[in-house]
Amino acid sequence: MALEVGIVGLPSSGKSTLFHALTGSRATGDVGMAAIPDERLRQVAEVVRPRKVTPAAIRVVEVRGTGPALLGNLREVDALLVVLDGFSGTRVPADDLETLRLELVVADRDHVERRLERVAKQAKSGDPQLRQDAAALERILAHIDAGATLADWEGVLPPELEPLTTKPLIAVENGGGGIDLKLEAELAELPADEAAAFRDGASALDEVVRRLKDELDLLTFFTAGDKETRGWTLRKGQTAIEAAETVHSDIARGFIRCEVIRWNDLVESGSHAEAARRGLQRLEGKTYVVQDGDVLNVRFNV
């Protein structure tokens, strides 16, 4: 499953515009996919000549509003994109960013308080573990009420909390001092070559996606077949079996070995066969730690 990023912002800041600029025609409702630009994929595809080329992508979720209930929909995302109004002349982006940070703190407090109410009620049964859980939640609530955030909590947070304030947060200013999101959304509707010609270069949003990739500590690996050549994301440090699971659960279940070639070795060799003949292809097992730019072919049997 692709990693997720949630878009938040104050009213009329340009949240929907950023959502459409990132996802273009890949959007369905309030959920879409933002492609991760990667020149290596194009070069690998030129060697393999597949029928289809698919870039790695991050799933994007837009929340239309703020407040604890709406922001709570973002508890399962991996990072937050905050859109700031830099175009109207009536708002100060830095002040709006602090307002949104406070909204996240309030949403976390509301979530902790509601969970404490449920656990405290259940703890009346006398269950020792529930009593411990309730006591821990009371300490966490007092920590927030003292003016801190869950990101400052030194202990281990209950996994059920899924706090918002611990997630990576990337600010995107919509306007002259940042990115013209209206223009980028319009260009997202054009074919890639036409949009690039109009910009006379890469999209300003490419840097936003790269920042997300860095914040989430992601790497990109490739699968290169004649039907489809595709980019995929993994967290740095993840293994070949986790890469197989990313591609398809059946491949992971039947994992035997993984053929690995560096993307540039494949490009320079001109084919998988020539790379193997030169000794540039190797076999790895489930525990192999995937590297950024690896081209993987998993041998499996279900």
pLDDT score at 115? 94
- How big is the CA angle at 185 (ends 182 and 191), to the nearest 5 degrees? 140
Instruction: For domain 237-300, say whether CATH 3.10.20.30 is its number.
Output: yes
Q: Is residue 27's pLDDT more than 70?
A: no
Residue 136 CA to residue 236 CA, distance in Å, equals 32
- Long-range contacts of residues 168-171, Cβ cutoff 8 Å, at least 24 apart: 168/78, 168/79, 168/80, 168/212, 168/215, 168/216, 169/79, 169/80, 169/82, 169/101, 170/79, 170/80, 170/81, 170/82, 170/208, 170/211, 170/212, 170/215, 171/82, 171/84, 171/93, 171/97
**pLDDT, greater one: 298 or 190:** 298
Helix (H) / strand (E) element for 252: namely helix 249-253
Domain range 4-213, CATH architecture: Orthogonal Bundle (1.10)
Buried b (16+ CB within 10 A) or exposed e, 149-178: bbeebeeeeeeebbbbbbbebebbbbbeeb
The full set of domain ranges for the chain reads 4-213, 237-300
pLDDT score at 47? 96
Q: Is residue 89's pLDDT more than 70?
A: yes
- Distance (Å) of CA 193 to CA 19, 148, 185, 203, 228: 21, 48, 15, 11, 21
For 171-220, the pLDDT digits (tens) are: 999 998 889 999 988 888 888 788 878 877 678 888 888 888 899 999 99
